[in-house]
Structure 1
Amino acid sequence: MKYKILEKPDCEKAYELVEEAMRKRATITLFACCKVEYEGRALSQLNWGERIILIKPDGSFLIHQDKKVEPVNWQPPKSKTRSYLSGERLILESHRRTPKELLTVEVRQIQFISYANMEDFEELEQAGYEKDMSDMIMERPHLIEEGFTPKTREYSVEHGFIDILGKDNDGNLMVLELKARKAGVSAVKQIRRYLQDLENTENDYLKECKAQKKKIRGILVAPSIMEDAREMIEEEGIEFVSVEPPRELKRDKKVTLDAF
């Protein structure tokens, strides 16, 4: 990895390093006293303070304070970064075309600035999310109940997308809402909206279900459920099934007797 570091440079030296780094498509890090202005979908201003500024070769531009995980200001990939000098100050601008946004950072004192040409070609592998639960249930539908047949995923209704739509042994429609963590009242309200959407739809299959006096069953699927949510599903006639999301990464996945 090629890198360069300057400690306590003046703004002119810092500007030269930023320009060099952008030519080399390097990742830039500054620890500096700065103020920030944003203009776009809203307006914001952050007065002088010491912050970490991170500029990535994909156009990402992030400003971090000494608290919280999320940046206080940021621009996404494909934004365009521009730097210039104004008097004794270094100005950094990040432009986004659609929607039109401008993030301007005025820097007056720099503790250190660095750039590095990083090599990283790996994609993050994740496990234990709703997508993993959905994959697992599609492969092993008996986890919900014997005779459950999943038909489709991400079924679009007025208020969002139903995670899994399927049928039970009696031909009743089953609406599954998946949560990888302990489910609360908001999850119950979400599946209730989906059930209402289906009740109001003109779907031919649902008309046939109603003609045959079939039910539409709402199933909340999560590892556990909060007490207030449990009370609410009992009132709403929604069912709860406890399922733990898979925790293994795909590259480490091994065949075990659990699959049979």
Structure 2
Amino acid sequence: MRTVVATCSVDYTGRLDAHLPLATRLLMVKADGSVLVHSDGGSYKPLNWMSPPCKVAVSAPDADAGAAGVTQVWTVQSTKGDDRLVISIHEVLHDATFDLGVDPGLVKDGVEAHLQELLAEQIDLLGPGHRLVRREFPTAIGPVDIMARDAGGASVAVEIKRRGDIDGVEQLTRYLELLNRDPLLAPVRGVFAAQEIKPQARVLATDRGIRCVVLDYNAMRGLDDPGTRLF
């Protein structure tokens, strides 16, 4: 990755035209070919950018631009269309290149796969007497996160989300409609389990006879004991 802090102006042409007047900005040229123009505000979002694949050409300014104080011109051209980013640099304050190596990617904590694994191991969180049938129970429209049986032997289909919304309830409803056609499974009850369930989703689930269960991820991992809390 190359990072350049420079006093520059930026012109973008393509789907629309945009202009950034002269100011000090951070220019980033990544190994994947993307070029980003950042200010010292606006959080993570760049002021302008060019997504890969693109080509970067550095040239001397023409006579008029040179007279106006431009020392070099970066022309970033998309190789997939006519989009072009022209960065007119007046002064370079910092220029460094770093080899960041291969990025292992983001490892999320508390993703649905982790919740599924933990709930399968602690299936009694659904209620006393529940037992696990299997994870990723196959159906013709996709796997159900967990299939279980309750204390009375009835089938229970569990859909797991980090944040439960209406779409998750609709997904479980489709599974239940299909599963209840199987005489070996029917009747199948539904459980919508999530770390957080939105009020609209809870109302819809209750209306459809689906039970909602809120999962305490830290407690499931043994990092927090709800019994020791003061409130």
Which category of TM-score, normalised to the shorter sequence, fits these structures? 0.5 to 0.7
Q: Matched residue of 2:16: which SS? A: strand
Question: Is the 8 Å Cα contact of residues 75 and 96 (structure 1) preserved in structure 2?
Answer: no
Hey, what's the Cα distance between the residues in 1 that align with 2:216 and 2:126?
11
Show the 5 A alignment for 1:95-110. Answer: 95=78, 97=80, 100=81, 102-110=83-91
Tell me by how many angstroms 1:235 deviates: 2.8
C-alpha RMSD over aligned residues: 3.8
Matched, 1:193 2:170: yes
TM-score by length of 1: 0.60
The one-letter amino acid paired with 1:245 is Y
Could you say which residue in structure 2 is the equivalent of 1:152? 136
2:53 to 79, 84, 88: 79
Residues matched between the structures, number: 206
2:112 to 130, 147, 155: 130
- Shift of the 44–141 alpha-carbon distance from structure 1 to 2, 3 Å rule, reads farther
The one-letter amino acid paired with 2:86 is V
Tell me by how many angstroms 1:162 deviates: 6.4
- Shift of the 127–115 alpha-carbon distance from structure 1 to 2, 3 Å rule, reads same
Could you say which residue in structure 2 is the equivalent of 1:69? 44
Could you say which residue in structure 2 is the equivalent of 1:117? 98
Tell me by how many angstroms 1:227 deviates: 4.5
1:237 to 193, 209, 225: 209
TM-score by length of 2: 0.66
Tell me by how many angstroms 1:207 deviates: 2.4
- Shift of the 136–109 alpha-carbon distance from structure 1 to 2, 3 Å rule, reads farther
**Greater percentage in helix:** 1
The one-letter amino acid paired with 2:155 is N
Q: Matched residue of 2:85: which SS? A: strand
Could you say which residue in structure 1 is the equivalent of 2:68? none
Could you say which residue in structure 1 is the equivalent of 2:145? 164
- Shift of the 206–110 alpha-carbon distance from structure 1 to 2, 3 Å rule, reads farther
Matched, 1:93 2:76: yes
Larger CA Rg, structure 1 vs 2: 2
Hey, what's the Cα distance between the residues in 2 that align with 1:153 and 1:27?
48
Hey, what's the Cα distance between the residues in 1 that align with 2:82 and 2:138?
32
Question: Is the 8 Å Cα contact of residues 12 and 18 (structure 2) preserved in structure 1?
Answer: yes
Give a deviation string over 1:93-135, Cα, whole Å, max 9, x none. 15354xx573413324345241223345563544233343234
Could you say which residue in structure 2 is the equivalent of 1:52? 26
Q: Matched residue of 1:67: which SS? A: coil
Tell me by how many angstroms 1:57 deviates: 1.9
- Shift of the 213–58 alpha-carbon distance from structure 1 to 2, 3 Å rule, reads closer
The one-letter amino acid paired with 2:170 is R
Could you say which residue in structure 1 is the equivalent of 2:188? 215
Structure 2 gap segments, 5+ residues each:
66-71, 226-231
- Shift of the 198–234 alpha-carbon distance from structure 1 to 2, 3 Å rule, reads closer
- Shift of the 177–115 alpha-carbon distance from structure 1 to 2, 3 Å rule, reads same
Could you say which residue in structure 1 is the equivalent of 2:228? none
Hey, what's the Cα distance between the residues in 1 that align with 2:139 and 2:29?
39
Higher relative contact order (CA 8 A, sep 6+): 1
Hey, what's the Cα distance between the residues in 2 that align with 1:206 and 1:58?
49
Hey, what's the Cα distance between the residues in 2 that align with 1:36 and 1:92?
10
- Shift of the 135–73 alpha-carbon distance from structure 1 to 2, 3 Å rule, reads farther
- Shift of the 32–81 alpha-carbon distance from structure 1 to 2, 3 Å rule, reads farther
Could you say which residue in structure 2 is the equivalent of 1:177? 160
- Shift of the 221–80 alpha-carbon distance from structure 1 to 2, 3 Å rule, reads same
Question: Is the 8 Å Cα contact of residues 38 and 102 (structure 1) preserved in structure 2?
Answer: yes
